[in-house]
Amino acid sequence: MKKRILKFNLAILLLSILFGMFIFQVEQYSRDKVTDFFRYTDSYSPVKKTKKLKK
């Protein structure tokens, strides 16, 4: 009985670690995509100050 519970807990731990690694990779990928997007667009770049349009 205890071995089955231990195996179940180890499986949950392994799955949670793999899921955390997957989420981290997706976050890194999306962050790289956002920085690439801002690097190639001058109109809305967080690095450069945007000029305010006068109405």
Cβ pair 38, 44 in contact under 8 A: yes
Contacts of 44 (CB under 8 A, 6+ apart): 38, 50
Position with higher pLDDT, 45 vs 4: 4
What pLDDT score was predicted for residue 51? Answer: 56
Mean pLDDT of the chain: 79
- Check: pTM over 0.85? Answer yes or no: no
C-alpha to C-alpha distance for 47 and 52, rounded to whole angstroms: 15
User: 């000029």: which residue's tokens?
Assistant: 51
Position with higher pLDDT, 10 vs 31: 10
Residue ranges per structural domain of the chain: 1-36
User: 């956002």: which residue's tokens?
Assistant: 34
Mean pLDDT of 31-51: 66
